């Protein structure tokens, strides 16, 4: 070991989903939206003008925070924006989880949470989901240094009703509770409805899923103005200009086109429900997903085998290694045509697999 290596912070990094670059692939592994952003985004990109890029963007991100405030009927001072929800969440970890007590998040959840906790030297505990992959709310009623969980959860897709979210908040008035709502637009009511009643609640969302802008990297948080001020203090201590001018302008344009937003959501939800029925008929089991993906396991065919077979056909899904989830695939909801191709392959493959199994058994 070199002398300077003794002073390096070592962490186990988050592993992002594979980003293949193939001309005729079906990419269902990173929960991207299969439809393009709103036409208003394309128009805003044309109008942006290269000359504006020589100037620093507004550090207050006013055009975007005001658009979000209007959409969610909040005040601009209740909105914080960042470079994707990962940036927003990382800022929140650094800002709010400083008590020295362990923070809580589920054992099966977004795998960035333990990475941030270790990176920022925050103690943590992860209560186990129950046998049906549901968060046990009572596990979050004891003393802790803060709470964070996705709703719907990832990778399970299970949505917790707001009444249960509120129970967790009621039992934790002295710490910050972060509800990570990357997928909530596909599910049900947002915890933003609870912000006025709980000054310790921070709700985080993203443009990467429902607004088709994963490549632009836009995330935001909604909370009481005091929480947002604390977040901005930490942000300005790192970088005053976190959001590019393009992200601000195009993000605001996306928020302004609610009709397109609702139409796209409707298509994805409809295809998700159709896909559930088809997968169930093929022998898959899965939690009742309320996200833009399905977390599925087959009764007789190992997930890793299916994962490799799909990949060989240029159909990409996500396979996680780990206790309790190693035999599941997370399948993003694509277009009708993409899901039809996936299901056709699965029908043929499982039929062949079943035939081979019968021969082996005999």
Residue 63 CB contacts under 8 Å (≥ 6 apart), including other chains: 248, 249, 252
Instruction: Indicate the pLDDT class of residue 192, thresholds 50, 70 and 90.
Output: very high
Tens-digit pLDDT profile for residues 242-277: 899 999 999 999 999 999 999 999 999 999 999 999
Q: Give the span between the Cα atoms of 27 and 156, in whole angstroms.
A: 19
* Per-position b or e across 265-283, b if 16+ CB within 10 A of its CB: beebbebbeebbeebeebe
Tens-digit pLDDT profile for residues 77-94: 999 999 999 999 999 999
- Among 9-13, 128-132, 222-226, the least confident range: 9-13
The predicted structure's pLDDT at residue 17 = 84
pLDDT at 354 over 90: no
pLDDT at 283 over 90: yes
Mean pLDDT of the chain: 95
Instruction: Indicate the pLDDT class of residue 7, thresholds 50, 70 and 90.
Output: confident
Query: What's the rounded mean pLDDT across residues 213-231?
Result: 98
Q: Which residue has the higher pLDDT, 154 or 8?
A: 154
Residue 97 CB contacts under 8 Å (≥ 6 apart), including other chains: 103, 117, 120, 122, 145, 146, 176
The predicted structure's pLDDT at residue 10 = 84
The predicted structure's pLDDT at residue 12 = 85
The predicted structure's pLDDT at residue 159 = 98
The predicted structure's pLDDT at residue 299 = 87
Sheet with 79-82, strands from edge to edge, namely 79-82, 219-223, 201-206, 177-180, 147-150, 103-104, 124-125
Instruction: Determine how β-strand 177-180 pairs with β-strand 147-150.
Output: parallel
- Across 181-328, where does the E strand assignment appear? 201-206, 219-223, 284-285, 293-298, 315-316, 318-319
Q: Are 127 and 139 in contact (CB under 8 A)?
A: yes
Indicate the pTM of the whole model.
Answer: 0.95
Residue 10 CA from chain centroid, whole number: 25
pLDDT at 358 over 70: no
Place of tokens 């925070």: 65
pLDDT at 25 over 90: yes
Query: What's the rounded mean pLDDT across residues 338-350?
Result: 97
| Terminal-to-terminal C-alpha distance of the chain | 57
Instruction: Indicate the pLDDT class of residue 74, thresholds 50, 70 and 90.
Output: very high
């Amino acid at each position: 070991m070199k002398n300077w290596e003794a002073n390096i912070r070592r962490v186990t990094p988050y592993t992002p989903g594979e980003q293949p670059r193939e001309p005729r692939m079906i990419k269902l592994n990173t929960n991207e939206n299969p439809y393009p952003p709103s036409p208003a985004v394309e128009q805003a990109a044309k109008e942006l003008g290269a000359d504006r890029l020589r100037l620093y963007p507004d550090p207050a991100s006013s055009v975007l925070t005001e658009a979000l405030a209007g959409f969610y009927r909040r005040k601009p001072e209740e909105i914080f924006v960042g470079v994707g929800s990962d940036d927003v969440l990382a800022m929140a970890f650094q800002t709010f989880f400083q008590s020295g007590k362990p923070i809580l998040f589920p054992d099966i959840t977004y795998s960035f949470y333990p990475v941030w906790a270790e990176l920022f030297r925050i103690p943590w505990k992860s209560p186990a989901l129950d046998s049906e992959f549901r968060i046990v709310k009572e596990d979050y009623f004891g003393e802790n240094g803060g709470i964070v969980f996705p709703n719907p959860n990832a990778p399970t897709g299970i949505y917790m009703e707001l009444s249960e979210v509120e129970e967790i908040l009621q039992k934790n008035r002295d710490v910050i509770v972060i509800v990570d709502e990357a997928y909530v637009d596909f599910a049900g009511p947002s915890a933003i409805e609870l912000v006025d009643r709980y000054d310790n609640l921070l709700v985080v969302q993203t443009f990467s899923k429902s607004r088709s802008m994963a490549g632009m990297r836009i995330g935001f948080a909604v909370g009481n103005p005091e929480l947002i001020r604390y977040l901005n203090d930490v942000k300005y201590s790192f970088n005053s200009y976190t959001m590019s001018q393009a992200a601000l302008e195009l993000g605001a344009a996306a928020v302004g086109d609610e009709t397109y937003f609702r139409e796209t959501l409707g298509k994805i939800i409809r295809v998700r429900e159709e896909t559930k029925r088809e997968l169930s008929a093929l022998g898959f089991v899965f939690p009742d997903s309320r996200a833009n993906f399905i977390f599925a396991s087959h009764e007789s065919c190992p997930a890793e085998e299916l994962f490799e077979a799909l990949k060989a056909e240029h159909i990409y899904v996500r396979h996680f290694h780990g206790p309790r989830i190693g035999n599941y695939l997370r399948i993003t909801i694509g277009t009708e045509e993409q899901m039809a191709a996936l299901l056709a392959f699965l029908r043929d493959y499982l039929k062949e697999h079943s035939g081979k199994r019968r021969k082996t058994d005999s």
